[in-house]
A and B are shown apart, each in its own frame.
Chain A
Amino acid sequence: MQKMLTIISNVLRGSASRNGTRVVVSARTYADFTPQATFDIKKCDLHRLEEGPPQQAVLTREEGLQYYRTMQTMRRMELKADQLYKQKIIRGFCHLYDGQSLTDSSQEACAVGIEAGINLTDHLITAYRAHGYTLTRGGTVREILAELTGRRGGIAKGKGGSMHMYTKNFYGGNGIVGAQVPLGAGVALACKYQEKNELCVCLYGDGAANQGQIFETYNMASLWKLPCIFICENNKYGMGTSVERAAASTDYYKRGDFIPGLRVDGMDVLCVREATKFAAEHCRSGKGPILMELQTYRYHGHSMSDPGISYRTREEIQEVRSKSDPISMLKDRMLNNNMASVEELKEIDVEVRKEIEDAAQFATTDPEPPLDDLCNHLFYNDPPIEVRGTNPWTKLKSVS
C-alpha cells in the first residue's frame, strides 16, 4: 500500500525519485503559496492595562517556515537529550523543554514567540529549563548537546552543564530559581543606563513566582522604570506541586500588583509573539516594567528523574496533549492557508533530523575537556595563578 502511494504520488508529481533520495522539485512553485495570512488569536487577560495586544496576527510564509523549523529543532533536540539521558550519556540534572513524544504539547511556542517579539540585541535570562532559549539566542544544537554530554566542544566547554549555558545577550541558565529575576532587572538597568534602547526579558516559572526576591525586583524595577519584561511560564506544576497547592493567588499576571500584566496563551506562537511585541513597546516607550504570564503545560515530568504521573493522572496529560500542540497548530495554520506544502515541511523535518543526528554524533564523540582546563576561568583578565589541588603537593595552574 505504501509503495503504491509512493508510485502514484511520483507519477502525479512528475518527478523521478529513487530510494533514499529526496524529492527536490515539486510541481507547485513558490508563486502558488500564499505569502501571508492573518490569524485570529486569543484575547489576553489584562491587569492595569486599558488595551492589550491585537487579537489578530499576520504571519508571512517566511516567518512561518522559520518558526516551524526552530520549534521542530528545539523539540527534536530535547528528545535527543531525553534519549541520551536515558542512556546515561548525560548526567546530573536535565530539565527539558518539551513533552515525551512528537505529539506532545510543550513550551516551544514560548521561546520562539518571545524571540520573534524582540531583537537579538535585546537581552534575556531564564532559570534552569534553558536549552530552548540557548538555541533561540544564538547557540547551536551541536554546542548545546556537547555541553549536556560534558565535552570540550560544549557551549561552556563542558564546565557548566544543562543549567549553565550562555551566549551573547543571554545570561543563562541559572540554577537557583528566582535569582535570575533580580539579575534580569540588573541587565535592564544597564540597558537604561547605557541608553541603547534595549530591554531585558526575564523569565521564571510558576514555582519560582512565589520567591521573595521577585517581589523585591518588581518594586525596584517599577520605582526606577527599568525596561524589563517579566515573564512567568506557567506550566501548572512546580516540580510535583500543582499551582493550587503552592500559590495563594494563581493569577500570576496580577502578582506584580502595581506592574501592568497580561495572561497569554503560551501554546500559540503567534499569541506569544504579539504579546511580546506589545510588552516590548511598553518598555521601550519608557513606561517601565510589564509582566506576562504564558499559560503552557508540561507533559513531561519536572526533569528526567520524574515520570510525571505520581502527582497527576494520565488522563489529564492525554487530554491536554491531544488538544493543543504548538507545532501542530502552526503546521495546520500554514497548510490550511496554502502557505506551505506537506512536502516542504517534511523536508524541514528531514533536515532538522539530520542536524540533530550530526550534533548528537559530535556530542558523543567529542573528547571530554582536558584536565589542564580544570582550574581555568576563575578570574577574567588576570595573570595565571596557582590553585591548590586535593593535597598540598598538587599545585594546579589556572589561566583566565
Chain B
Amino acid sequence: MASLRCFLRSGRNAVSVILRREFHKTSPAALQVTVRDALNQAMDEELERDERVFLLGEEVAQYDGAYKVSRGLWKKYGDKRIIDTPITEMGFAGIAVGAAMAGLRPICEFMTFNFSMQAIDQVINSAAKTYYMSAGLQPVPIVFRGPNGASAGVAAQHSQCFAAWYGHCPGLKVISPWSAEDAKGLLKSAIRDDNPVVVLENELMYGVPFEMSEEAQSKDFTIPIGKAKVERQGSHITLVSHSRMVGHCLDAAAVLAKEGIECEVINLRTIRPMDIDTIEASVMKTNHLITVEGGWPQFGVGAEICARIMEGQAFNYLDAPAIRVTGVDIPMPYAKILEDHSTPQIKDIIFSVKKTLNV
C-alpha cells in the first residue's frame, strides 16, 4: 500500500498539482474535490443561503483570493458581499466584529493566521469575550478563517501554527479541517454558528483532492463542531492529530500495518471544544497514545491532550506514557533540508510508535 507523493507548492498564483494518495473508501465513480474547492463550495452555499453572510479580507474579491479559495465569488455576489480590504488587519478585523454585533454574519479572512497577530485583540477581546461580558446580551456570529501553520519555503514569520494560541481562549470555537469533507462541513457549521469561530486551514492541503461522498455534496451537509472522527480503526496504539498531520499519521499507519502494528488514527477536527471522550474511548481500547501536531511543543495541542488523559479515566488504561510528536522548538528555517526537519515526518511518527510500543 505504498503511496507516491509529490509535494505540491501552492503559492499565490497557484495551479494545483495533483497529489496521488490511496483512499480508505473505494468508490470508483466518486467525486474528487480539492480542499480549496470544498471551502469555496461551503462559502458559496452559505452566501446563497443567508444574505447576511459576507466575506472580507485582502485580495478576496477581484484577485479571487490569495490562494484562490474565494475564486468566482466576487463575480457571482458583487462588491456588497465580497469585500477587498486594504492591508489593515486590526482595522478590518474590528470592522468585521462590529458588523457581526450589528446583525450581519461576516467571514473575515486572514491571508495567513500569522497576520492575525496584528488583529488578535479584536478576535479575543472584542469577539470571544463579548457574549460573556454582556451576560448574553451581545452575540458575535463571526468566522475568522485562513491558512495556518507551516507552508513550504516561506520562513519563520509566515509559518507559525496558532492552534494552541486560539485554542486557549474561552468564548472561541476553533476548528482545524483536514480533508475536503472536513473543510466543507466544518466551514458551513462555522458560518451557521452564532458564535466566533476560528477556522485553521492549511495552505499545503488546498490542492489535495479527496473523495467527496454524495452526502457531503448536499447543500445542507454540515459536520458538528466539537466532534472528532476516527479515520482508521486500530487496536495497538492511538494516534491523535489535526489538519495536515492526519495524513502523515495515516501514511505512517499504512507502513506500520505491514509490520503488524495497527494504529487507530483520530482526526480531531475541532481544537476547541476538544472531543476528549473519543480520545479516551480509543486509549481505553489501545492502551497507548501519541499526539501528532505541526505546532511547537510547549503549551501545545498535544500538551493539552496528554494533561486531560492524565486527569481522566483513560490514565488507568495506559501501558506507557502518552507522548507528543510536534514541530521542532525553533522558528521555521528557510532552506529545504532544514525546513523538512522542522516538522514531523512520517518516519518520526513511526519511530515514536515503535518506542512507545517498545518494539
- Please report the C-alpha to C-alpha distance between residue A381 and residue B242 in the assembled complex, in whole angstroms: 27
Q: Beyond the given A182-B93, A184-B98, A379-B194, please list 13 additional residue pairs across the A-B interface where CB-CB is below 8 A.
A: A157-B136, A172-B133, A179-B122, A182-B97, A187-B101, A193-B54, A200-B98, A212-B90, A213-B91, A216-B88, A217-B94, A378-B132, A380-B195
Contacts of B126 in A (CB 8 A): 174, 176, 179, 183
Flag if A166 contacts B137 (CB, 8 Å).
yes
| Contacting pair B139 A159 (CB below 8 A) | no
Residues of B within 8 A of A203 (CB): none
Ordered by A's residue number, 20 sampled pairs between the chains whose C-beta atoms are within 8 Å are A160-B134, A166-B134, A172-B130, A172-B138, A176-B126, A179-B122, A179-B125, A179-B126, A185-B91, A186-B94, A189-B98, A190-B102, A193-B80, A220-B86, A220-B91, A377-B131, A379-B173, A380-B141, A380-B195, A381-B194
B94 and A213 within 8 A (CB): yes
Q: How far is the CA of A167 from the CA of B137 in the complex (A)?
A: 8
Contact check, A181 vs B273: say whether CB atoms are below 8 A apart: no
Among A179, A193, A385, A392, point to the contact of B104 (Cβ < 8 A): A193
Is B91 a contact of A378 with CB atoms below 8 Å?
A: no
Across-interface contacts of B141 in A (CB, < 8 A): 380
A223-B80 Cα distance, complex, nearest whole Å: 13
Contact A185–B98 (Cβ < 8 Å): yes
Cβ of A384 under 8 Å from chain B: no
Q: How far is the CA of A160 from the CA of B134 in the complex (A)?
A: 6
Assembly CA distance A179 to B101 (angstroms): 14
Q: Is A38 an interface residue (CB 8 A)?
A: no
B99 part of interface (Cβ distance < 8 Å): yes
Query: A179-212: contact bitstring with B at CB < 8 Å (1 yes, 0 no)?
Result: 1011111111111011000001000000000001
Residues in A with CB closer than 8 Å to B138 are 166, 171-172
- Give the distance in Å from the alpha carbon of A213 to the alpha carbon of B323 in the complex: 42
Which residues of B from 271 to 286 have beta carbons under 8 Å from A? 273
In this complex, how many residues of chain A approach chain B with their Cβ under 8 Å: the count is 49
Contact A378 B131, beta carbon cutoff 8 Å:
yes
Closest beta carbon of chain A to B112's beta carbon, Å: 19
Contact A190 B98 (CB under 8 A): yes
Query: Which residues in A have their C-beta under 8 angstroms from that of B137?
Result: 156, 166-167
In the complex, the answer to whether B134 meets A186 with C-beta atoms within 8 Å is: no
Is B133's CB under 8 angstroms from A159's CB?
yes
- Whether A175 is near chain B, meaning CB under 8 Å from some CB there, is yes
* A379 close to B195 (CB less than 8 A): yes
Contacts of B91 in A (CB 8 A): 182, 185, 213, 216-217, 219-220
Residue of B nearest to A190 (CB): B102
Task: Mark each residue of chain A from 73 to 103: 1 if its CB lies under 8 Å from any CB of chain B, else 0.
Answer: 0000000000000000000000000000000
| In the assembled complex, B96 has its CB within 8 A of some CB on chain A | yes
Chain A min CB distance to B216 (Å): 24
Inter-chain CA distance A216–B85, complex, in Å, is 10
Give chain A interface residues in 100-154, CB to chain B under 8 Å: 123, 125
Q: Contacts A220-B88, A379-B195 known; A160 to B135 CB distance under 8 Å?
A: yes
Q: In the complex, A159→B129 CA distance in Å?
A: 11
CB-CB under 8 A for A380 and B95, given A172-B134, A179-B126:
no
Residue of B nearest to A160 (CB): B133
Q: Within 8 Å of chain A (Cβ to Cβ): is B245?
A: no
B101 and A183 form a contact (CB under 8 A): yes
Q: Contacts of B194 on A, CB cut-off 8 Å?
A: 379-382
> How many Å lie between the Cα of A387 and that of B95 in the bound state?
30
Q: Which residues of B contact A167 (CB under 8 A)?
A: 137
Interface flag for B170 (CB, 8 Å) = yes
Q: A159-B132, A219-B86, A377-B132 are in contact. Are A185 and B94 (CB under 8 A)?
A: yes
State the CA gap A381–B145 with chains docked (Å): 21
Residues of B within 8 A of A212 (CB): 90
Complex CA gap A194/B91 in Å reads 21
Does B90 lie within 8 Å of A380, measured CB to CB? no
Q: How far is the CA of A190 from the CA of B95 in the complex (A)?
A: 9
Contact pick for A179, options B94, B96, B170, CB 8 Å = B94
